Amino acid sequence: MTKERLQSISLEELEVLARKQGYELTGAADRAALTEFILENFKELERAEENNLAIRVEQSKYQGTERETTDHADAFPIEKRYNQTRVVFMVRDPNWAYAYWDLDNNLLEKLKKNADGDRLVLRVHDVELIDFTGSNANSSFDIPIQIDDTSWYIYLPNQNCSYILELGIISEDKYRCLARSNPIRTPRNSFSDNFPSADQGLTLNLLSGFDTFEGFGSSSGIPQRILAVHRE
Amino acid sequence: MGYLSLVLHWHLPFVRHPEHPQFLEEDWFFEALSETYMPLLSVFERLQAEGVRYRITLSISPTLAEMFKDEFLQNRYLAYLDRMLELARLEVRRTTENPRANRLARMYLHRFQECRRAFKDRYRCNLLDALIRLERADLVDLITSTATHCFLPLFQVVPQVVKAQIEVAVQTHVGNFGSYPKGFWLPECGYYPGVEEYLKEKSLSYFFLETQGILFAEQRPRYGVYAPLYCPNMVAAFGRDPESAKSVWSSQDGYPGDPVYREFYRDIGYDLPMEYLKPFLPDGNVRVSTGIKYYAITGPGDQKRLYSPKAAEKKVVEHADHFVTARINQCRRLSARMDRPPLIVCPFDAELFGHWWFEGPQWLEIVLRRVAAEQDSISLTTPGQYLSQHPEQQVAQPCFSSWGNKGFAEVWLEGSNDWVYRHLHQQALRMSELVHRFPKEKGLRKRALNQAFREMLLAEASDWAFIMKTGTTVPYAVRRTREHIYNFTRIYDSLMTNRLQQEWFLEVEGRNNIFPKIDYRSCVS
């Protein structure tokens, strides 16, 4: 999955990603080397981010075996797509959301035939504190997608902020919205600035484990096995 | 003076396979019965018999409650115990040369015998009655969780699912326990702002949150996690105390990781020759854990010492004392800064006790005894009792959170499991479509609609996404997800085209027979 996603982004973006993870570039960038480095780094991150305590205990409930499944996956065929033009947005953590979408068969055929000029995009709108009409977002950015893509993880710049996603098409520099998602709101990853009263709050919040709690301050890392390209 | 509120969440997914003569994943339930559920019940009953007063909250997931009363699984558990008894007898014989190992083999034999006796004679194969008795004695508060352990934050876009999961849970709870649940366990403490509206609709007055769900509330919590917050609609949110959680949960720094305790990962199922184990393994060729484990944690590395129950017992007392003393000190520290008694909320997965941490039930028993003896400095309470004594609390909207890695939703939404949501959301839309199209049905069509609803709920279990992520038995989790989506879709298509294949349908209805009183009309958008 990750490898495929890495293959789908430009060499320049690969370089940026690799550098962010501490890769020291000497001479011309080699796509294979960069990919390998990033993948290796992901594995490291996964190990470092070992499951937290509650999850480890829970894991022990589900005994695993070396057994191969006896049922072939084909025993329960399910649809891949649902022949509808739709996009759904799901919040995952303060910085990342997941989007999946679908195009109805007619549209899909048309796009496939007409692949030259048209570009599919996901348009992310910051709609904090506004009643979104389609053109009044606080800010927006586009993520180019391929016709065969069906889902993507999207990095969102602001915590505690509302977003709406559009699946759209750009032809001859003109944007047309095909489907609009449900709104989502990213959670905050810090204390609110709103105090119940001037003198209270912090000490007890500190006693509530601010310094020991493992969830704090760790969200800047790149989530596991996931890559999305953030463009503004 | 302060309060301690212990909450144990009992849950396993619905696993029941009459179509196979023996099925490995059913062992999750059987092991938990032997190692966790019955040992915990006997702790509670023993304390009750001795007149030790305690209060504890037990969240019993609807899938687990349904499995407790399922006769087919009850009989399979007895057959499982017979196999284990035979294996334990063989072990007693095999270890005669090694007196220390032999003592352990006898211990396991004795435990399996006790399990069989208690399950058949004391509980008459059904643990529900024992739980009801404890609640009637006012020692235990029983609460419920979503119908199939659905992780609600990932279903915001289909609120009919959130509603249905809560409604079926409450109905099932009332049917099984004869009492109305006052509170609710959000699976994995998965919370999103707004879910409390659905809780309020069902008169559920409180739920539990991960620490940061409280700390990052819209308004700073005045007392941290040491008092509940009311959501704006006045449903109360209780936050998990990280200090006590760490001492119990952590396998490294926590009590369960002590070198003298029993090692979870060394099981004869993996250590002994295949030839010897054959009759006791599924299909005769797949290694699984048997519950018979001879080693102590000892330390890092593979060199393990034999387990000594005596040494472990001594340590359990120490750890229980340490826990209670630490909580009393914590209360003192907190009281100095609060204008009301602090409340320390400790929620745990019940299966931590006994299954993962072998000595856990013993530890819990001593903790309950100690706290009962320390009533001047700390007392046990339940959220319901606390709220009736301290009804005035701060109002603030809690923050999206869970008790999974990093506190948000990434365990249940990542590369290995994200594919499920497209299908789960789609079937929810289709289920609502069925309700609108067939508002009043009778006979076979009604049964088909109810079965479609069951299949939808079963597919929504967070257990499958969890397993896909953590990688313990992935093919099974994938299979279960696909199977329920497939069954749902097939019923949906047949209802839409008015062509139901009866033989297939009856087989599915007989197998996935959870929630017999379900009403498909609960799934309205």
pLDDT tens digit sequence for B41-98? 999 999 999 999 999 999 999 999 999 999 999 999 999 999 999 999 999 999 999 9
Domain span at residue B211 reads 2-69+126-262+307-406
Q: Which of residues 17-76 of A touch B (CB under 8 A)?
A: 49, 51-69, 71, 73, 75-76
The dotted CATH code for A78-185 is: 2.60.40.10
- How many Å apart are CA B238 and CA B142, to the nearest integer? 16
In the structure encoding, which two tokens stand for residue A228, read together?
């999305």
> Hey, is the C-beta of A192 within 8 angstroms of any chain B C-beta?
yes
Beta strand A151-155 pairing with A162-171: unpaired
Q: Supply the DSSP string of B259-288, one letter for each residue.
A: TTSBPSS--HHHHS-HHHHGGGSGGGT---
Residue that finishes a domain, picked among B384, B406, B428: B406
Domain identity same for B139 and B204: yes
Chain segment B87-143, per-residue pLDDT in tens: 999 999 999 999 999 999 999 999 999 999 999 999 999 999 999 999 999 999 999
* B283 with A67: Cβ contact below 8 A: yes
- How many Å apart are CA B31 and CA B366, to the nearest integer? 23
Q: What is the pLDDT of residue A229?
A: 31
**What sign has the CA pseudo-torsion B119, B124, B130, B131?**
positive
Contact B281, B84 (CB under 8 A): no
Q: What is the pLDDT of residue A137?
A: 97
Domain identity same for B375 and B434: no
Residues of chain B short of pLDDT 70, as ranges, are 250-252
Q: What is the pLDDT of residue A34?
A: 77
> Is residue B500 assigned to a domain?
yes
Interface probe for B, chosen from A84, A204, A227 (most Cβ of B below 10 Å), is A204
> Hey, is the C-beta of B211 within 8 angstroms of any chain A C-beta?
yes
* A93 with B489: Cβ contact below 8 A: no
Q: CA of B2: how far to CAs of A205, B54, B224, B267, in Å?
A: 17, 15, 15, 42
> Hey, is the C-beta of B460 within 8 angstroms of any chain A C-beta?
no
Contact A223, A128 (CB under 8 A): no
Count of residues making up chain A: 232
> Hey, is the C-beta of B525 within 8 angstroms of any chain A C-beta?
no
- Report chain A residues whose CB lies below 8 A from the CB of B245: 53-54
* Per-residue pLDDT at A201 exceeds 60: no
> Is residue B58 assigned to a domain?
yes
Residue B89 distance to chain A (closest CA, Å): 24
> Hey, is the C-beta of B175 within 8 angstroms of any chain A C-beta?
no
Domain identity same for B398 and B419: no
Say which amino acid occupies A155.
Y
With cut-offs at 50, 70 and 90, classify the pLDDT of residue A29. Answer: confident
Say which amino acid occupies A59.
Q
Name the residue ranges covered by the structural domains of chain A. Answer: 2-52, 78-185
How many contacts (CB atoms, under 8 Å) link A and B?
Answer: 243
Domain identity same for B360 and B342: yes
* B408 with A209: Cβ contact below 8 A: no
Domain identity same for B54 and B147: yes
> Is residue B367 assigned to a domain?
yes
- Report chain A residues whose CB lies below 8 A from the CB of B355: 60-61
The pLDDT of A207-218, averaged and rounded, is: 46
* Per-residue pLDDT at A203 exceeds 80: no
Residue B296: phi, psi to the nearest 5? -95, 160
The single residue listed with the structure tokens 């499982």 is B80
> Is residue B300 assigned to a domain?
no
* Per-residue pLDDT at A206 exceeds 70: no
Residue A81 distance to chain B (closest CA, Å): 9
